[in-house]
Amino acid sequence: MPLFYFNLFDHEGFSRAEEPYAFTDVAAALAEAEVVLAEMALDGLPRGPDSRIEVEVLDVNRTCVAKVSLELRRQIFT
């Protein structure tokens, strides 16, 4: 089974993947990345100038093959 890494970007900064995870394919790894992103959102919504949290899916060569993110946009209408 192919190995994938997840890099995380959140309000605390960047976390480089240390351990690989085995998934049947990129689609399965991306589905798990979506779960990870939802768990990150439970820890706090994105804030500040870069109002985004993100999970990068990397292959065994650490090449980004997919990405999922959550962006929070604020608009005030007067």
Q: Which residues of the chain have pLDDT under 50?
A: none
For residues 24 and 64, give the distance between their C-alpha atoms in angstroms, rounded to a whole number: 17
Q: With helix as H, strand as E and coil as C, how does the chain read?
A: CCEEEEEEEECCEEECCCCCEECCCHHHHHHHHHHHHHHHHHHCCCCCCCCEEEEEEECCCCCEEEEEEEECCCCCCC
pLDDT in the model for residue 50: 62
Q: Model's pTM, two decimal places? A: 0.85
Domain boundaries, the chain: 3-71
